[in-house]
Structure 1
């Protein structure tokens, strides 16, 4: 510190604080939001902390300062003990017998015409073009304008008179379906059992408690920060309760399974860690790049496709088409 200018001393103090926060974030997967709700908020900002620490490392490296070791040390720990922030290589093989699964939060279909696209393409055209065997939709809204042609489907509305809910479309016969029916929320988890040749595969579609943060809308940032923090921490607590309900239900099914949906939380969270335990994450196995699934200024991966440990994931894609505030994700799975 003695050989640093006053400005560099300020930078290093800031660097130390942010490196410490990143280091603490590695504990997030092991601490339930029910225990320390406030701490769970940090999971949303892990990608930002990684980027900032990388910038600090480059800054000190250019100046040939030993302070570069601080951020690189914390980043290396995360490389080995945390979910990957960036995937360099991908797996891009396929078999004719692969099950192609797409998960998509469509935001009630209200953005299914791409305003940036000069053509007449819609989100329905996009789904038809990708032609998934299984389509799991979060934030479904019943409408006569929906153009999805599948022989089988399970749609669960929040109530009999409402139009909002969740849906699973399938090319394969659905022999069983159900819902966990969360109380006091519009979020839910539904599931179906589909038969593909001699296999019965369970498909879960998750939409965990929403944080109700809409950064692209005009009122974002105007709300009292204390109220915003309280609402977000309450949402994390609800996510923890919903996760426990899901795990209790899921443990009763010992067969082949795929879990997909909008977790409203990142891969650095307790929620993800609990659900992904003893499973394969399609992005980690076969994805490439940042895997961004939410349309925000920094990369947030909050939508997932997970499988049982015996599954073979041959391909994973996160698309960039802006028909919703989420990006669709797709995986090819086999056993």
Structure 2
């Protein structure tokens, strides 16, 4: 740091810490939360760490200082992270007669407890579904008291099936020939699945709602939480998520069908949870055909993408969009797929 003024030295020290934390985050997808729960919490802050390193890079670049190399190298090492945070290409939308669409949305109980000022949230969501007309619709936080009946759709758990937790439902314009639930222990969360028949193909659809940390978006409430309590709470959540994902992987391994996984993962694309669900045989439809930040959760500090549609490698992704509507604390996502033969 020779040649730097005192103020610039302080800035570079902060820059070095932020760069180090981002570098550490690159190994988090390979570390089970059960081993290092506290460290795994860092995955939630990756978008912020990327943004700060970009700011430091620009700061030193404008001053023509060699210190810019630090953030530049760290960002280049994690280029795939940049692609997960922001998709630089324009949205891909390819028309094909074989296309079908899948939409996922955490509806937050249709605003049952008045989080949003609007009194017509449920009606607006119904109008949105009608306008988008997805062939497959996966809903999370679907309330037992506000059941939907959608014309021209088959459904599973829309009326609630005996012995299966509420909260998730799947609607499909294609016949449902099999269905079930993965009941996660010691929680209200679960995952459901259906097998649908599209022409001669049977496709399995999973709809997830993994364990939530319970941390909201209210800034004042977050200020009241101690950092230690937040880390402990999120760490415990990630451990529970790991157990839930292990149940899913064991279930998925018994199926030979082409698979689509949707839902609210309550975790980011930089996490162990995401990497394990995605595996080597699924692809992230946002990365394939989305654009921009692709944020799916209304978090005030930085863009967060915690809702996903992952599709088997045998699917071609012909479109993806995030719907910018304020009807929940989440934003709906929709992809257009074609099954390759």
Pair 1:281 & 2:265 matched: no
Matches within 5 A, 1:98-247: 98-110=99-111, 115=117, 122-144=124-146, 146=148, 148-155=150-157, 164-216=166-218, 218-247=220-249
Distance 2:124 2:116 in 1: 6
Cα deviation digits, residues 86-133 of structure 1 (max 9, x gap): 111132112122120001011111179975799997121111100101
Paired residues of 1:83 and 1:268 also in contact (CA < 8 A): no
> Counterpart in 2 of 1:330?
334
Distance 1:106 1:69 in 2: 44
Cα deviation digits, residues 4-56 of structure 1 (max 9, x gap): 11111000000000000000100011111011001110010000000000000
The more displaced of 82-91 and 154-163 is: 154-163
1:102 to 1:82, Cα distance in 2 relative to 1, 3 A: same
* Structure 1 residue runs of 4 or more that deviate by more than 4 Å after TM superposition: 80-83, 111-121, 156-164
1:263 to 1:162, Cα distance in 2 relative to 1, 3 A: closer
1:329 to 1:207, Cα distance in 2 relative to 1, 3 A: same
Pair 1:309 & 2:313 matched: yes
1:305 to 1:118, Cα distance in 2 relative to 1, 3 A: closer
Paired residues of 2:110 and 2:122 also in contact (CA < 8 A): no
- Could you tell me which runs of 5 or more consecutive residues in structure 2 were left unpaired when the two chains were aligned: none
> Counterpart in 2 of 1:5?
5
Distance 2:323 2:116 in 1: 14
Paired residues of 1:26 and 1:82 also in contact (CA < 8 A): no
Paired residues of 1:202 and 1:255 also in contact (CA < 8 A): yes
Secondary structure of the 1:212 match is coil
Cα RMSD of the aligned pairs, angstroms, is 2.5
Q: TM-score, normalised by structure 1?
A: 0.93
Cα deviation digits, residues 267-290 of structure 1 (max 9, x gap): 000010111112111011111111
Q: TM-score, normalised by structure 2?
A: 0.92
Paired residues of 2:148 and 2:158 also in contact (CA < 8 A): no
Q: What is the CA-CA distance between 1:229 and the residue it aligns to? A: 1.9
Secondary structure of the 2:56 match is helix
Aligned match of 1:300 in 304, 307, 322?
Answer: 304
Distance 1:314 1:206 in 2: 23
Cα deviation digits, residues 120-149 of structure 1 (max 9, x gap): 971211111001010001111023574633
1:119 to 1:155, Cα distance in 2 relative to 1, 3 A: closer
